Structure formats: C-alpha cells, structure tokens
Structure 1
Amino acid sequence: MRLLKVATCNLNQWAMDFDCNLNNIKDSISRAKRAGAVIRLGPELEITGYGCEDHFLELDTVTHAWDCLKQILAGDWTDGILCSFGMPVIRESERYNCQVLCMNRKIIMIRPKIWLANDGNYRELRWFTAWKQKYQLVDFQLPPHVAEALSQKTVPFGYGFIQFLDTAVAAEVCEELFTPVPPHAELALNGVEVFMNASGSHHQLRKLDLRMRAFIGATNTRGGVYMYSNQQGCDGGRLYYDGCCSVVVNGDVVAQGSQFSLKDVEVAVAQVDLDAVASLRGSISSFQEQASCKTAVSYVTAPYKLCKPFHLEEPISCPLKIKYHVPEEEIAFGPACWLWDYLRRSGASGFLLPLSGGADSSSVAAIIGCMCQLVVKEIENGDEQVKTDAIRIGQYTDGQFPTESKEFAKRVFYTVYMGTENSSEATRTRAKKLADEVGSWHLDVRIDSVISALLTLFQTLTGKRPRYKLDGGSNAENLGLQNIQARIRMVLAFMFASLMPWVHGKSGFYLVLGSSNVDEALRGYLTKVIDSLYGSAMDLFFWLNSAINLLLMFFIYFKYDCSSADINPIGSISKTDLRAFLRWAAVHLGYPSLTEVEAAPPTAELEPMRSDYTQLDEVDMGMTYEELSVYGRLRKIFRCGPVSMFKNLCFKWGSKLTPSEIAEKVKFFFKYYSINRHKMTVLTPSYHAESYSPDDNRFDLRQFLYNTRWPYQFRKIDELVNELNGTKVPLAESAENKPGILSDQVGGMGVAAAGAGNPNVGL
C-alpha cells in the first residue's frame, strides 16, 4: 500500500489584506503538518485574495504577493510538505493567475491557469492571460530579491505535473475542471494520481451539487485523488465564497469541509491509498488503451517520496455522505456569514433595518438573528477570533462576551418601523413581535408629521396640494405621494443609523440594510413610475437626441427610495424562495411570528386603505412574483430576447393562455424592465445568490437606456401571434420533445415550478 495523507483548506481571505491572508495561510500549513499531511492545498489567489479585481493591474499587488511567498519559504513552513499557493505572476509582459508549488523551501514549478473564468461574476481575462503554450514548460526567472533569498534563480513555468519518486501530482485550477475537455483527463492518462484544484468559487442557491458531481465525475472512471480547496467568506464584494473543501478518491468523497462558517481557517484531512487508484485504472480496459496512445505532458521531477508504507496507526479515510443544505438553510447561513464578515471588517458597530413587517424586511431581520446565533455558537465552540470580533463590535467590557444571541442582537441590531396613516396595525404588530424574538433594539416611529411638512412646503411654493387617486387625485399626484413616504424612510434610516449609537453612548456607526428582492429589482418595483411623463421624455430624447433631455428623463424618473441602503443580503433572492425561507426560519431559527408574515399578502402600504381597496404589490406590478421568476430566468440564464421569450412561454403556458395573452405579458414585462433598467446602475450592493440577478455592476452587463417600445421585437411577436391564431398550432405540447425549447427547469405558472428553477445553474 502507498499511503498518502493530504490536507485541503477553506480560508477566509480578504482582498488586498496581505497580513490577514498570510496569517491564515501559515495557520493552515501548521494544522496540516500537525495532522501529518504531506500535501497542503490552498484556495485560488489566496495570497492576494481572489476579489482584487482591478488591483491585479497594479504592479504593487504582484510585488506584495512575491514578498509574502518569500516570507513563507524563508521559514520552515514548507519543510516536508508540498504546498500549493495561489498568486498572480508576471512573466515577461504577461500577467498570469498561477499556482506556485513549493516544498522544502524551494519552488518546484509554477503552473499558470490555462482556462480562465470569464462569465457571470468573473472577469479574469480583464486581469490575466491564459497560458497558451499548453505542452511546454519554460524557465521562469524569479524576481531578484526572491532568487537571492531562496538561492534559486529559475523555476519551470507552464502546464505540466510533478513526478515524485512514488507518485505524480498536478494542479487543475478552478474553471479548468468545468471546461469541455478538462486537463485532468489527459493528466490521468499520463500517470497523475493526485489532482489539486485551488478554487475561488462563490455560493449560489442550489449550486453545490453541480460542483460535487464534477469532483466525483473527474475520478469515477479515471481513478485518482481529487483535492479541492476554496475561499470561504466575504473577501470584499458581493460574493460569498462557500468553502466546502473536499477530497474525493475514485469517485467517493472521503473528506468535506463546511459550506458556511465563521471560521477564518478550516482544514480537511484525509489518508488515502494510491494503490487503489492504480488498481482501478488497471482494471478499466478503455483507460489502458487510451493511456497507451496518449499525448505526452511535460513534467518536473522531484527527488522526494510522499507516501508511507503499510501501517495501522491511522485508518484509510472512508466514503462519506455528502452534506447538502436545503435552499432555506442556504438563505439563512450564506447571507448571515457574509454579513458577519462585512460587519467585522468594515469598522461598523452594527446594522439598522427599516422593518415593515412584510416578507422581505422580515427575512433580513431573521438572517441577522441567524448571524447572532452563529456568533454565539462559535464562541461556545472555542473560536477565539469570533470571540475577539464580537467583543469589539458589541463593545463589551470587564471580560464580558456574548453568551446569548438575543442579548448580542440588542447590541448590534436596530430595527425601525416607520409608520404612516396608510400603515396597518397588523404590520406594526408583526414588526414588533419579530423584533422581540430576534432581540433587536426596536423603534416605532410615526413619520406623518415629516411628510406633512414637505407637502406644506410644496403647497406654499405651488399653491397646490396633491391628493391620492382614491380621493380624486391624478396618477401623478398618487405616485408622488407614495414616493415621498418611501424617500423619507430612506433619509430617516440613515439618520438613525448614524445617530442612535451616539444616543446610547456607543462609538461607531451602523450600516443600513436594504430588503428588496431580486424579482422587484428585475421589475424595477423600488419606487413608483410616472408612465406618461417617462414616455414623453423618451419620445423627446429619441427625437432631439440631446443631453438636456437625457438629464430630464432621469429627473422625471425617480429612484433612491427606501430601497437605498449600504448593503442588501436578499437582493438576488426570489420572493418565492424568501417565502419558503420564512416558513423554515419560523421553526428552525425560533421566530414563530414569521409564520404570520409569510401568510400575509405583500403590500407597500403607501396608499390609503378603504373598505373596498387594499394596495397589493402584485396588482401594482401588473405581474406575479412567480411570473417574474420565470421572466428573469428566461432573460438572463437562457438569454432570451422578447421574441425568444414569447416562443418559449407559448410552450410553457399555452394550455392556460392564448398567444395574444402571452404576447401581452411578454411586452408588458420588457416595457417595465427597460424603463427601470437604469435603477440597476445604483442598486444597493447585494449578496449574490441567484443566477438571474439583474445587478448592473458586474453580473448583468446590459445598457440602461432602451427604446421601451421595442418596435422591431414587438412587431415580430405580433406576426407570430397572427400566424399561431391562423394555423391553430397546439401550444400546450410538451416542451421536452422540442429541440431548443426549455424543459420544466424554467418553471410554469405555479409557485413551486417558478420558484425552484434549475437547481444547477452557474459554476
């Protein structure tokens, strides 16, 4: 038997914080060595942090990375252990995303990434070059100060593997695993038995299964030990890297780290038998045949043995049942861990949430409650870093620290109910109940006097006082009155966040949390719109094509309401998923009032209530949340324009709706999507959790100025409707037998189908 002990890591790195990252790396090496591991794998770009983005274009970033690596190699960290470190490297005039493989205080080889992640949230081609000399290893000249410190001038650079005396080891970096022809396929044929995948993979709802199946598939028919390391936590942006470091042997998972955790360092260790790899490969005829005519891959020889002979001191790691979280748990733990990192690294003293008693803001309150529960649990488990951060943020003195989640929430979480004459007693009561259950410092504020003062000012200036439509006012008056309430809440939220710590004798400031969901962002249901004025401004703009009218358009088309905040933990989570989360959290987080919240119909409560009228969100939007989820997935995930969306929905909804009805729905959606697109340019930074997020910043790169009439596309839809009405095509035919038509993963009219979506989108 050739016994090999390996260690892989979850590290909570922080982009551009080299001290933090270096300490975590050293800690992980120490833990791996104490466990007896001879291979240690860390995350992609772990020295700099993965999310440096345009900082990668600065020479300082690369120089600092070399300084950190030199510090590691100058000590005894790599003595007797192969370590793979992720960092940017400049060779000649090109910048590469590299794994630097080191052992015994020397660099054995540098492996540049050959396939870069360049879609969705990833823009690696903006900062790095892919290594294109695939079957070539070249000499790389180390920076002079590094060469002097290591007494090593050059190192092999390129695509290849390391041949030890008793096994072969190779790197496969993140995205490369998910390519049509991944490197591990030919590396396995060249005798590589251990694959090290350093990754920077973000959390997305229902995504982990795709990742785990890729690890299993990589070794199931080829054999091998597949090591996977990942970042875990918020490294400075919208993404939460969800860890789940793993070791897979011949298709069986034998070690798995946590997916959500407050720990800065987590190391998963496994002892494997490499003879089991050789035995599997030798028993597969097709593997033998393909290996006999393989394309040779370059390698570097290393005069070391990694394996131990047969012994009974420690057992071989056995297959494990993979740990998956249900989506409701993912919504609880992912944003909670992201918020904790944001809180402890931003210098803030806590969070403030405008709590309306509705589903969205109540979901955010429950997530903060979950965060407080996780903090207390980790302190009980002996995590000194979490304890230190909690004492500082909660401003504990005299040796005190959090021992109860509600008490900790009282120190770091304010909730504010800002009611008006249009608010109901039901929402006020729900907000108060939930605040008591979570433990927040709750304020109940009436803001009618502030609104009245603004209306009086307006009346003084214009001689007119706007009225609600129910009281005889126009659409413009009705919408204006609603927007005043929303924007006053935004102003008051930021005022309370900056001044309430002062009121209570605390230092620091609080971050304002947003609570708009992904479906509302897609529809632009953040403030109300003045359709006639916006249409007129658009007509004028296209006619005159002048900057003045462009400014007029933005002036008329309001934004910056109470959806504006510092960060938003649910900004890319669907309404359907949030309602399921509320039901789950009522039981599993111990907040029973959430059951009442989930059962209540969504309403903005910005218009007066009458015996025969109650304002409802879905009525205001002109579409249901379930429909919005379907539109969102078709638009983003399946890249449908208006015409393609119409065709697909004819197959999905044809048994319930006529082509004309479907056409009107598609036109209505695209009209309001394009009208509201500019709001995405200033959308509050949100936790990324759903692959149809319309976030303009990096994920959904589309223009924000549209011809909202979509004349060509809508005309094509009308032509198709006429054809379908004339030919009587059966629209309810199964989509599964039609090439190019979406299957049930898109969702139909029902809540379950639209909300569940495709469980395996994104990488």
Structure 2
Amino acid sequence: MTPIKIAGATVNQTPLDWKGNLNRIIQAIEEAKRQEVEVLCLPELAITGYGSEDLFLSYWYPKKALAQLESLLPHCQHITVAVGLPIRIKEKVYNAVAVIENGVVKGFVAKQFLAIDGVHYEFRWFTPWPANEVTQIDFLGKQVPFGDLTFHHKGMHYGFEICEDAWRGKMRPGYRLQDRKVDLIFNPSASHFAMGKSQLRKELLEESSGIFDCYYCYANLLGNEAGRMIFDGEIMLAKSGELLFRNQLLSFEDVQVKSFYLEPKVQEIAPIQSKNEEFAAASSLALYDYMRKSKSKGFVLSLSGGADSSTIAVLVAEMVNRGVKELGLEKFCQKAGLDYSNNSETDLVGKILTTAYQGTKNSSLDTFESAAYLAKSLGATFYHWEIDEEVKSYTSKIEKAIGRKLTWEHDDITLQNIQARSRAPIIWMLANLNNALLLATSNRSEGDVGYATMDGDTSGSISPIAAVDKYFVLQWLQWAEKELGREGLSKVNSLQPTAELRPLERTQTDEKDLMPYSIIVEIEKNAIRDRRSPMDVYQILIEEIDIEPVVLKSYIKKFFQLWSRNQWKRERLAPSFHLDEFNVDPKTWYRFPILSGGFTEELELLDQL
C-alpha cells in the first residue's frame, strides 16, 4: 500500500487582513496539491490570525471568519484541509479547526484547554470545549458535527490536539485519542517564539508520538503577526518517539508547505539553532514584518555607540541580509513596498536604516567613533550633531523660573534626564521625514529598574530588545562580531556600558549606577519569572553566587525598590517583541500595580537576617 502523503503548512497572517489571509491559505492549499498531498494541516486560527485580541468577542468577527471558510471550499477539491478559526455558538466563542474534505466541511474540532500563562490570555476570548462532547451547528444550511471529533482517510484514523491541548500532561486529549486508536494526531498551533523553545517542542513531539504510538504532526503560525508575538513557522513530524521531519524556522516567505509520507523513516531534520542565532533570526523577521505591516519605509535610530543601539542597528542590517538572501532583492523590496531599482544590499541598508549620533559635552570621542564606524560598516545612513544648545536652553529657562543654578551635586537626575529628553524631538523629526519607525533602545534590565529616561531614550514606535536582558545583549554583540562577521562592532565591544549623561570626570558606568548585569539577571529570573519573594531570592542566590551576604542583600533590596517605583515607566514603554522565556511588558506578561507598598515589610525581613 502506498504511504499517505500529508503536509503541515505555515502562513504569515495579519488580523483584519481578510483578503491577504485568505490568499495565503489558498496558496498553501494549491502548493499542497502540487506536492500531491492528501491531508493538509494549517495552523491554529489561521483564518483570522491568533493576535486578534478583543475582536474575537465581536459578534461579527467569527461570522466573517465563517464566510472566509466558505470562500475556501471551492479550493479544497481533491484534498482534505484542516484550518483554524473562531466559532461563536450563542454567547460563547470557541477556538476551532474546520476539517474540509473534497470541498465539504466534515466537522469542527474545538480546543479543550486554553493558554492563560505568560503572553496568553485565551480565557478572555474563548471557552474550553468539554472532552467527549459533540454537538451540531448550522453551516450553509446543513448540520455539521462540532466538538471532540476524529476523522478517517483511506483507512487512516486521525484526530487533533490544538496547541495548548498538548501541554496538559495526563489531562491532554491525546490519551483519549489513543483510546480511540488513532494513527495520526495533528497539532495546529499558534505557539509564540521564545529562545530555546524549539527544543521543548521537539521533546514534546517525540514524547507524544512515543506515548501514543502514532504519527504526530505539528504546524505553527509564522512571523510577527500583530506586533509583539513572533511565530517561528515550525513544522514537525514524529513517529513512536522518533523525530522524522523538522523544517528551518523563521522564514521570510509568507507561505511554506512541508509534505512527508507517513512512513517511519527520517525524511528531513533541520538543526536547532543556538540562542544567539535564534535571537538574530527572530528579531530580523519581526522587524521586517513590523515595518511592512505598518506601511513604514524604514527605521530611524539614535545611535549612541553603546551596546543597546548598536545591537538594534545590527539587527536591522541582518533583516536586510537574511531577507534578501531568502527572497531575493526584488521580492524583498516588493513585499515591503520599497523601490528596488538600482539597489545593492548595502544601498538598501542605507535607505532603510537612518542613524544619528546626538552628542553633548558629556559624550566621549570613543562613543562617537564607535557609532560612526559601526554605521559605515553596516551601510547605514549616519548623521551627527550636538544638542548642548537645546540642553542649555531648557536648563536656563528652568533656572530663571526657580531663581537658582542647577548643579550636579544637588540636581543630578534632572541634569541627566534633560540631555536624554532633548534628543527625542529632533530624532522624531527625522523619523517623520522618512516615514519611518523610530526604534527605542531600552533593554529588559533597564525596564526592571527604570534605568531609562521617560520621553528620552524610551521614545520610539517599537522597542526591539526590551524583552532581553543586558547581560545577554553584551555577550550577543561579542558573538555577532565573530560569527556574523560584523567587524564594525569591534569598537562597541571594547567600551564599558555607560549612559554618558554625567560629566566625563565623574566616570559614569551603568553597572556602577545599578549593580552588575549578571546579578540583575539572576534576581529577575527568581523575582519576576518565578515570582519569588525577596527572602526567597536571597536564600536561593546566596547558595548559587559567590558574593558577600551584605552586598547581595543590598542588590536585592535595590532591585525590588526600583522595580516597584518604576511600574509607571513600564506601562509607557513602546511595544516590544517577545523573544525570551519571559519579559516585563505589563500588557503581555507581568502585571504589577502602578502604586504599591514597594515590598517594605518583605525587605525589612531581609535586613533582619
């Protein structure tokens, strides 16, 4: 008997882009037919996009999704297609998969477990479907089964676990599918990207196919769909504990169809990338999608010569490099709405990325040379100017109003912040002139402790590295210089991180102002990711880190105090990409009261040790 050929497809969708979303699904179906696929699985909520947020609560939105499903039917002749969409039944909305066979909807499978951790808030929009229950709903005047269903194709029995369903241990639907003796489980997913997550998915597939002794096929969404979450477009097949197929992730293509025969032999397995490579690939794709979906023509960046802004500059250059390499120059530009005539890759970087070094009397020659050298090496447009005149104007006005001179001894924070804020208006002008997105440069460590000037270095349309810590950024820059061949980072990597807002003779450094970045990482993992108390954090870290107890206490106390008083800043930071296992974005991962007691009693207990 000839093995059955199935496929997983990934599509780069956008909420409310009805025509585009439908066309990409049709492209996937047509490509699957060309590959002689018999059963095709598309991702979770592929018709609408996963990131539709409160649109799912609208009466008209699921109704429109059903109309889109109807439009797909003529394209599903001589193939079976599974595609995700929201379904409203009276007052409840369900996350479902429609199974179309030869142009006819055979049934809808509903998701049984909803994701509610981290970046996910599915219970706000959807209702979980009870196990083993089946009902009927009206579709095009006919009653169609809806609920906990399985299907058959040429003697093959198959069912579904929809994304989160597979992560629920002994409660997962897979065990009931095993009892029904299915041969294949499909997992249509909208699983957000995070560095290192692919390894966990691989282990899940191997374990699932082994436990249930069946084929297990996984298909994930692709791209920066709606602004924050990135989907990596992973497609995998496993059988009885062995991975048989895995594609290369984070493609710039809008549609990928990966087909494979249901036979227990390895067909193709792309390697799992390191976290450094994942960061570069995910950020590049996220920036490209954000630029083109926002109808912007490029990016503007205040390039200080330091680690954060330099990281972002390299990521934009990598966006061009990777996108052009995969799509070709013409297609890359056409997708982004850019003119591609008479351009080389380097020319394109200069058109897409405009940078500016905005110096003051407190800026050093080292950082200027670092910024200029990097911009030249990347091919970015580079401007430079001084803002001392603007700083002096603001300072003299306030001095006149309050009747005294400002001094570094008494007005340190005020004098630091006015420099950062004075840079914002002119760099915004450049962004407006270019119809470009202004890139904010804050990292997660700064977000933790509020080490950023509101309306200064936090200004921007998007903050690409706000979800990764400074310790990671610093080591990534060293890696990028060597492994990505970004020699322009050599000067950046020779400098110690500093805001350069105090007079040079005061030798300001970021770690002197705060604490070592390696310590911040360890504290935030325990305090924010694992949600532990100050006392718990201390008791864990005193065993793990070679540090004096009194110093560790001071760092923990400083972290929690700064964290508490700076929630208002985190509420106002520009949107960021979710790249790591956790972030501090209050809209998508960690909610914290703007006003609080600031861990006063908890920190007093720490002092009593």
Using the size of structure 1 for normalisation, the TM-score is 0.77
Contact 2:449 2:562 in 1 (8 A): yes
Contact 1:642 1:714 in 2 (8 A): yes
- 2:385 equivalent to 1:442: no
| Separation in 1, partners of 2:269, 2:136 | 44
| Separation in 2, partners of 1:211, 1:673 | 33
Which of the residues 269, 285, 300 maps onto 1:352? 300
Partner of 1:587: 482
Which of the residues 472, 483, 489 maps onto 2:417? 483
Partner of 1:629: 521
Partner of 2:507: 614
Contact 1:485 1:606 in 2 (8 A): yes
Amino acid at match of 1:688: H
- 2:253 equivalent to 1:233: no
Give 3-state SS (helix, strand or coil) of 1:453's partner. Answer: helix
Give 3-state SS (helix, strand or coil) of 1:3's partner. Answer: coil
Give 3-state SS (helix, strand or coil) of 1:716's partner. Answer: helix
| Separation in 2, partners of 1:692, 1:449 | 41
CA distance 1:24–1:401, shift in 2 (3 Å): farther
Partner of 2:404: 464
- 2:603 equivalent to 1:714: yes
Partner of 2:27: 27
Amino acid at match of 1:494: W
- 2:196 equivalent to 1:209: no
Contact 1:254 1:270 in 2 (8 A): no
- 2:320 equivalent to 1:386: no
Amino acid at match of 1:179: R
Stretches of structure 2 that go unaligned for 5 or more consecutive residues are none
- Post-superposition shift, 1:193? 0.8
CA distance 1:715–1:615, shift in 2 (3 Å): closer
Q: How many residues align?
A: 608
CA distance 1:456–1:656, shift in 2 (3 Å): closer
| Separation in 2, partners of 1:350, 1:320 | 36
Amino acid at match of 2:305: G
- Post-superposition shift, 1:560? 2.2
| Separation in 1, partners of 2:72, 2:88 | 20
Deviates more, 1:691-700 or 1:36-45: 691-700
- Post-superposition shift, 1:221? 3.8
Give 3-state SS (helix, strand or coil) of 1:85's partner. Answer: strand
Contact 1:253 1:322 in 2 (8 A): no
Amino acid at match of 2:67: D
Deviations 1:369-402 (A, max 9, x none): 001112321343x8x7534124x32x34xxx264
Contact 2:8 2:219 in 1 (8 A): yes
- 2:598 equivalent to 1:672: no
Partner of 1:545: none
Partner of 2:126: 128
- Post-superposition shift, 1:645? 1.5
- Post-superposition shift, 1:186? 2.8
Contact 2:97 2:108 in 1 (8 A): yes
Deviations 1:490-536 (A, max 9, x none): 2221112113x3xxxxxxx1110011111111111013xxxxxxxxx
Partner of 1:638: 530
| Separation in 1, partners of 2:518, 2:493 | 15
Contact 2:260 2:267 in 1 (8 A): no
Contact 1:369 1:405 in 2 (8 A): no
Partner of 1:311: none
- Post-superposition shift, 1:589? 3.1
Which of the residues 548, 555, 563 maps onto 1:657? 548
Contact 1:519 1:575 in 2 (8 A): yes
| Separation in 2, partners of 1:122, 1:410 | 37
Which of the residues 329, 336, 339 maps onto 2:287? 339
| Separation in 2, partners of 1:67, 1:190 | 32
| Separation in 2, partners of 1:582, 1:715 | 39
Contact 1:523 1:628 in 2 (8 A): no
Contact 1:263 1:386 in 2 (8 A): no
- Post-superposition shift, 1:348? 1.0
Deviations 1:461-496 (A, max 9, x none): 23322122xxxx31xx12111100000112221112
Partner of 1:90: 88
Aligned residues: percent identity? 29
Amino acid at match of 1:199: S
Deviates more, 1:165-174 or 1:245-254: 245-254
Contact 1:217 1:251 in 2 (8 A): yes
- Post-superposition shift, 1:196? 0.9
Partner of 2:169: 180
1:680-719 alignment, distance < 5 Å: 680-708=570-598, 710-719=599-608
Deviates more, 1:53-62 or 1:216-225: 216-225
Which of the residues 431, 436, 445 maps onto 1:497? 431
- Post-superposition shift, 1:108? 0.9
| Separation in 2, partners of 1:253, 1:180 | 20
Give 3-state SS (helix, strand or coil) of 1:563's partner. Answer: coil
| Separation in 2, partners of 1:387, 1:715 | 58
- Post-superposition shift, 1:332? 1.1
CA distance 1:183–1:401, shift in 2 (3 Å): farther
- Post-superposition shift, 1:251? 2.5
Is the radius of gyration larger for structure 1 or structure 2? 1
Using the size of structure 2 for normalisation, the TM-score is 0.97
Give 3-state SS (helix, strand or coil) of 1:343's partner. Answer: helix
- Post-superposition shift, 1:13? 0.6
CA distance 1:376–1:319, shift in 2 (3 Å): closer
CA distance 1:36–1:401, shift in 2 (3 Å): farther
Deviations 1:419-457 (A, max 9, x none): 000111010001001101111110011111111122222
- Post-superposition shift, 1:18? 1.1
